[in-house]
Structure formats: C-alpha cells, structure tokens
Amino acid sequence: MEKRLGRGLEALISSATGEENQPSFALIDVALVEPNPYQPRTEFDGFKLAELAHSIKQRGMIQPVVVRQKEDHYELVAGERRWRAAKLAGLEKIPALLAEKLSKEAMIEMNLIENLQREDLNPIDKANGMKTLMEECNLTQDEVAHKLAQDRSVVANTLRLLNLPDRIRDWIKDGKLTEGHARAILTVKVPD
C-alpha cells in the first residue's frame, strides 16, 4: 500500500500562517539557525549527511529550509538534514522559507510530516513524534491519524512500541528487530 501523507508542507504553512501573512523567502545566516525542539529524528546518518553535503556543494541547496524568527535567531521548522548538510558543506547562508506565525501544533505536524516524506523515520522515532504531537497539542489518536492521513490503528500500533523495554526499543532503532516482530513481543505475557 502506498504511503499517503495528507496536506503538503505548503498547505500546512498557508493554513497555519493565514492568507494575510504568507511566508516569504530569504537567504539567512546558517549560524543563526537553531534546531527544532520537536524534531522526531534522534539520529542522523553521518554518511548520508556527507552525501547530501557533497550534493549541496555541487548543485547548491535546491529546497529551502523552513524557519520561524525567534528574537535574534531562527528556529528550524523543517529541513534539519538540509541545514546540517549545509553546515558540513561550509555554506554561510542558506535559502529559507520564513513562516512567522506558526502554532506549536503546526510546527510539530510539519516537522513530523516532512520527516515521513523525506527519509523513513525508524519506528521508535515515529512513535515519539506522534506522542509529542498528542501531548504538546492535546490531540487524540484519531486527530493525529487524521493529520498524518493514516488509519487510527496504525497510530495506535506505532504508539504501543513505546511500551517496550528500552533494550528492545534500541534494537528496533538499530534495525535489529522489525516493527512487526516488536508488536508480537507486546502480546507476550510475562509471569509475575
């Protein structure tokens, strides 16, 4: 079954900022950008970042990052891999879409959707992203499922992975245990 992710980033930005406050483009100083505190991705593959940095050196940055202004710096909304790769490539300025009036919910939603679209998150990071969206924005599983254009059962099963012991969650993150096998472990009853 093909992955479907609902609204694109452009639609999310437009609806989050309102018609009267459309986002604008600018070249911004890489050093003034801080990571998104709601980033669901906990690990960035060094080899893939180096490949992206090489591509950026060769062809430039094709897609801008999305940021919002925070006093004297910018906070990343989406594009942390591109930002990290641009820093690796030695860029001083990067293209950015300035989305000034984003709610916390829109920021978390955009970041999670962007990560699902670009490079698959490991199941544990995906579950943590869903949990953050629920907790920070007071959303139900149904509402998260709607926002991510997924069935509620997918959201529920993904969130259940967070009930596993740390060691097993680490195996999932490291690719040593599949999501399906992990869900099977959840059904095993441990004697008291």
Total domains present in the chain: 2
**Which CATH number characterizes residue 24's domain?**
3.90.1530.30
Tens digit of pLDDT at every position of the chain (192 positions): 334 434 444 544 444 445 445 678 999 999 999 998 888 787 888 898 999 999 999 998 989 999 988 889 999 998 888 999 999 999 999 999 998 778 777 887 787 777 765 556 789 988 998 998 899 889 999 999 988 888 999 999 999 999 999 999 999 998 899 999 999 988 887 665
Containing structural domain, residue 59: 1-103+113-119
> Is 108 within a domain?
no
Query: Is 165 among the domain residues?
Result: yes
The catalytic residue positions are: 80
pTM: 0.67
Domain identity same for 127 and 98: no
Other Cβ atoms closer than 10 A to 133? 24
Contacts of 89 (CB under 8 A, 6+ apart): 53, 54, 56, 57
Residues 97 and 126 both lie in one domain = no
Together in a domain, 3 and 72: yes
Q: Which CATH number is 190's domain given?
A: 1.10.10.2830
- Domain assignment of residue 58, yes or no: yes
> At 190, is the secondary structure helix, strand, or coil?
coil
Residues 78 and 133 occupy one common structural domain: no
